[in-house]
Structure 1
């Protein structure tokens, strides 16, 4: 059974003021942290979507057996990167994980999501810690066409999640990092203090 992970690393990181993916994180960079954890997980089909300053990420990405996609339209927003990644994904995959470079994940968490979604036959699995939802979000491949039609003006993934809320399963995990969103220098500094 194939599981796909799409890693979004195409943005300009304008709020951070520097490329988020290249920030130090747990002995490596945020970008490589995502790739290492996915390589240690059940997600064998890994698609990385690059855009802004892609050349900075390509040497790191090439160390891993992954697909590298350059989204020429990354300035149009995150939806365009998700769609670019999805088009390159293995069409036989059972699940599709969507994660951003600034949301550090752990292989244990994503494995739990994949295992749960496969067994429960729901459409979306979201990790939760102490009753609060986090990321990354895992979608059943049954939603592939819905994912291919997401639009920024319709709130992207949020719209899709709302549409299928009754088929969404919250998966409790012992990992508070699912709430991390490293958008600004302050977010990043706070996260480093707690890791």
Structure 2
């Protein structure tokens, strides 16, 4: 099975007030940590979307092994990043696995379990709710090009148009860094 990984890192970090992708984390940057995780998952293709702070990210983040997709419409929400990246997915792809660039606490084993799901859509079912990563099967890939807004992938997941597998994952949803408080919780090692 040919699997494409997609790391969303195009946001402008409006709520945080600075490029969260470049925040220091374990001796590198937050985005470096997430890309290291993505590289460890064994994807056949690895895409990363950039938009806000793209030139700084290119200068400071190790993008080795990643195909960079620039999203000029990044301010309209992550749906535009998914839609833009969907056009760069290898035609051999059987599935696309979506990761957030500001969520380094996701475990590679959980990513691989989601990637192995056989339904058109799959999502992690953590102890406290649903969360990334998501898996989109080949039959869903054409729909990704038309996504808009911040909750677009969630709307697709809950649309009822496709069978969804909820992959059970131990522990709470990993911290998604949107605010200074989220970042401080991440650094403190809180769930």
Compute the TM-score of the two structures, normalised by the length of structure 1.
0.87
Q: Which runs of 4+ in 1 moved over 3 A?
A: 59-63
Say if 2:167 is the partner of 1:159. Answer: no
Deviations 1:36-69 (A, max 9, x none): 1111113121111111121111135564121111
Question: How many pairs align?
Answer: 189
Q: 1:8 to 1:90 in 2, by over 3 A?
A: same
Unaligned runs of 5+ in 2: none
Say if 2:98 is the partner of 1:106. Answer: no
Other-structure match for 1:194: 189
CA distance in 2, matches of 1:54, 1:63: 12
Could you tell which deviates more after superposition, 132-141 or 156-165?
A: 156-165
Larger fraction in helix: 1
Which of 123, 133, 137 lines up with 2:134 in the alignment?
A: 137
Secondary structure at the aligned position of 2:142 is classed as helix
Deviations 1:87-122 (A, max 9, x none): 11112111111222112232211111112x1xxx31
Secondary structure at the aligned position of 1:127 is classed as strand
Which of 179, 182, 186 lines up with 1:184 in the alignment?
A: 179
Deviations 1:141-182 (A, max 9, x none): 2101111122229x4112211113761111112353x33221
Unaligned runs of 5+ in 1: none
- Tell me if structure 1 keeps the 8 A contact 2:78–2:148: no
CA distance in 2, matches of 1:166, 1:142: 9
Other-structure match for 1:16: 16
- Tell me if structure 1 keeps the 8 A contact 2:9–2:49: yes
Q: 1:131 to 1:193 in 2, by over 3 A?
A: closer
Other-structure match for 1:64: 64
Secondary structure at the aligned position of 1:145 is classed as helix
Post-superposition shift, 1:28? 2.5
- Tell me if structure 2 keeps the 8 A contact 1:61–1:68: no
Other-structure match for 1:126: 123
- Tell me if structure 2 keeps the 8 A contact 1:129–1:173: yes
Q: 1:166 to 1:9 in 2, by over 3 A?
A: closer
CA distance in 2, matches of 1:167, 1:158: 14
CA distance in 2, matches of 1:99, 1:50: 13
